[in-house]
Structure 1
Amino acid sequence: QLLLQSLFPTPFLPPCAKEEAEPPEEGRREEALMGELSELVQQVVKRSSWWERHGIDDSIIALNFLILPAGFLCLRSDNALPFLLGIFILGIVHHTVTVKGSHLASHNALTESKSWGKVWAIFFLEVCSAFTAEQAYYNHVKLHHGYTNVIKLGDSSTWKLPFLNRYVYMFIAPIAIPILTPLVALGLLKDVELKTALRTLCCMFLGLYSHYWLLVNVSGFQSVWSALICMLITRSLLAHPYIHVNIFQHIGLPMFSADKKPKRIHLMSLGVLNLPRNALLDWSFGHSIISCHVEHHLFPNLSDNMCLKIKPIVSQYLKKKKLPYNEDSYMSRLQLFLHGYEELMVNAPPITELVGIQ
């Protein structure tokens, strides 16, 4: 139970979270900055075609489903190379669907229809990812995006397991993500309505059993355990970078209390970090999670391709206004977390006091 609570806590928003008192001129200036940047971004969005806004990312996800049969068929081979290729294909497809697909669906960035957006959210989050859509939306969109790096609300504490040492957490624990995710989801079902819980259970069973059935009937696995082990391997193929990216881009940056957090544009520019582009992770996780995370937190309803398109505008604007635009390499962040694990992941992070934001 402690493990589940540490992995996916479900804190409640305070009934009245008051903003820090600030001079009216400063507040108006910050709102004007966000308004000006939003206008620049909206101009780009309005000039963009449906293909740019949604089509490119939808096609990437569709292409993954199209190559899925090849992965299952490769696993029928007795030769090591085709078999490993099958593992690779299934692993890439799984993470593209469950990370990129689920992330875009949770923000309704796959389509302009809210009704279809809800359908896709249930499909990607519950059928494919074996998690509950309502709790994913609450924890990610409402808390993490609404209170980015605000202590006890959106401070990425979901990813902290202080009872694990640095090497176990960074290199061994990620393998257990495919097992822990449905277990955590089951624990969270007590917080949703009965009909929602029943829907989630049915969707989770459909997704997990379909994966198992295909391994047995298409790939030809003879035993239950061999099929389950293959499921674990493919579903954890990119679990290490998935965990790493989720902590690299927020933890270690300025943290705030609920009553002293800065306005949105400062909150996101201070508390979010971009990693360099990476072909494998860009494909599987999406630009908004890797190289355009700052852009995504400022404009969370945009697709991965649109985040990439507005990246030059956002970076130039923030730098022009002398606001932070955090960027760092994967290896640099990995070394930082290995050396400073106790401070960053075990001890409570210090609250940043911003006096006279310039």
Structure 2
Amino acid sequence: MQNVPKEWREEQSVGGARDKDVKPWEGREALFQNNTGNSKQDMSTGKEKKNGEMMNGGGKGMEGTDKESLMMELTRLVQKTVKESSWWELRGIDITILALSFLLLPPAFLLLGSSQALVFVLGMVLMGVSHAVITIKGTHLASHGSLSESPTWADVWAVFFIEVCGSFTARAGVTSHIKMHHAHTNVIGLGDSSTWKIPYLPRGVYLFIAPLAVPVITPLVALGQLKEHSMGQALRTVLMVFLGLYAQYWLLIHVSGFQCLYSTLLCMLLCRAMFSLPYIHVNIFQHIGLPMFSPTRRPKRIYQMTHGVLNLPRNPLLDWIFGHSLINCHVEHHLFPFLSDNMCLKVKPIVSQYLKEKELPYQEDSYLSRLQLFFHKYQELMVFAPPITELVGVQ
């Protein structure tokens, strides 16, 4: 970070928030401004100005250039759709999916108490699906404040989903995801997805075995993050993570009838690791192998996101479990990170058509194609540092 220009060091979230602790709800008001291009009407206050910059690429030299005006024009198109959408479309559909996942938990615990193999396996599947929806889709939406209009409730949901359900620290999760990944997408040394690289592992182990350890690694990494927390935040995180883990353990003992410590812990591991492979795959498929940028010389936001982000095709299972914003609407999500999964899907035709009309990349590839690419080019993509891309003429 020492050689990064001051204006980039100051960016704490998508395009310019400068609070030490990024909040999950910050910046989303920009989608509801009346006119992104009218500085008098929409940026008359400091807060509105900051939010406008967050949605349009940093704000420096924002007016009077074609680069920023593309993002401003696209933002106005998306704003119109957002304003015309009902609460059900904005949040209701995704909240319902999360609620249904919680409702699957009681029958899952009961089925896990059966002595019949098929019934037991069904209980494992229900538990694994429910856990994945809650801890992947739920934590992702909560980290962006997409579950509530209230800042207070946004913070509550972030703690609940990330710490209680996801066994991680909400402060580190929200800050690193929004401050680094979204603000500096594919920027070398900042938001280049290097978190997901373990270069000393062979490709077969990394792609097909190591992800199974994610449920164990996650709380251990969370403990390592606590040194950056205040005493109160650290204590809360430890208590919330313990509560989530112990609640599942207690229910397996008292509802499912498990009697052995090791079998109970193994069941917890298998349920929590059920979708770890596609989770790790998705996190690397959609960014690594795409253009990477220098911290000191990178394109404006719309170019950065369209070149550095990729969509996977529609997949009923992964769309439900991971959410559209992580699968088939990842480009839309990076351009408008405060939209819910359903709203990303709703604005997808608008975004894709606009980018294609402006001859900007709208990158899409299949899951199998990306898996083959990473398997055959593992050394190049995951071991060696990728080359920096220079987008001549749009820096």
- TM more than 0.5: yes
Amino acid in structure 2 at the alignment position of 1:319: K
State the partner residue of 1:121. 158
* Number of the residue aligned with 2:97: 60
Mark the runs of 5 or more structure 1 residues left unpaired by the alignment.
1-10
1:357 shift after superposition = 3.6
1:276 is aligned to 2:266: no
Aligned pairs, number: 344
2:87 to 50, 53, 69: 50
Report the equivalent of 2:120: 83
1:143 aligns with 2:180: yes
Q: Which residue in the other structure is 1:92 paired with?
A: 129
TM-score by length of 1: 0.94
Distance 1:25 1:49 in 2: 31
Distance 1:14 1:192 in 2: 25
Higher relative contact order (CA 8 A, sep 6+): 1
* 1:224 is aligned to 2:214: no
Q: For residue 104 of structure 1, what is the aligned residue in structure 2?
A: 141
Does structure 2 retain, via aligned residues, the 8 Å contact 1:71–1:87?
yes
Residues of 1 paired with 2:353 and 2:164: CA distance? 40
- Secondary structure at the residue paired with 1:206? helix
Q: State whether residues 17 and 258 of structure 1, in contact with CA within 8 Å, keep that contact through their aligned partners in structure 2.
A: no
Q: Distance in 1 between matches of 2:104 and 2:163?
A: 21
Please provide the CA RMSD for this pair: 1.7
- Partner of residue 274, structure 2: 237
Q: 1:50 to 1:224 in 2, by over 3 A?
A: same
What amino acid does structure 2 have at the position aligned with 1:46?
Answer: K
Distance 2:301 2:123 in 1: 44
Alpha-carbon distance in structure 1 between the residues aligned to 2:3 and 2:222: 20
Q: Which residue of 2 aligns with 1:37?
A: 74
Question: 1:133-165 CA deviation, whole Å, 9 max, x = no partner?
Answer: 010111111100000000000000000000101
Alignment-derived partner of residue 6 in structure 2: 16
Look up the match of 2:346: 309
2: CA distance, partners of 1:42 / 1:105: 21
Aligned 8 A contact 1:148 1:268 in 2: yes
Aligned equivalents of 1:154, 1:87: Cα separation in 2: 35
TM-score (norm 2): 0.85
Unaligned runs of 5+ in 2: 10-60
* Equivalent residue letter for 1:166: R
- For residues 16-70 of structure 1, the C-alpha deviation after alignment (integer angstroms, 9 at most, x for no partner) is 1469xxxx79971011000000000000000000000000000000011111101
SS at match of 2:6: coil
Q: Helix, strand or coil: the match of 1:356? A: coil
Cα pair distance change 1:132/1:15, threshold 3 Å: farther
Q: Which residue of 1 aligns with 2:359?
A: 322
How do 1:109-258 residues align onto structure 2 when only pairs under 5 Å count? 109-258=146-295
**What letter corresponds to residue 6 of structure 2 in structure 1?**
C
- Which AA in structure 2 matches 1:182? P
For residues 15 and 261 of structure 1, the distance between their equivalents in structure 2, rounded to whole angstroms, comes to: 12
Mark the CA change 1:115 to 1:13 in structure 2 (over 3 Å): closer, same or farther. farther
C-alpha displacement at 1:247, in angstroms? 0.1
Residue type at the aligned position of 2:317: L
Displacement of 1:283: 0.8
Aligned partners of 2:67 and 2:394 also within 8 Å: no
1:235–1:25: structure 2 CA closer, same or farther, 3 Å change rule?
A: closer
Find runs of 4+ consecutive structure 1 residues off by over 2 angstroms: 11-15, 24-27
Question: Cα deviations across residues 159-203 of structure 1 (Å, max 9, x unaligned)?
Answer: 000010100000000110000000000011001111000000000
Identity between Structure 1 and Structure 2 (%): 63
| 1:332 aligned partner | 369
Q: Does 1:345 align with 2:335?
A: no
Which amino acid letter does the alignment assign opposite residue 125 of structure 2? F
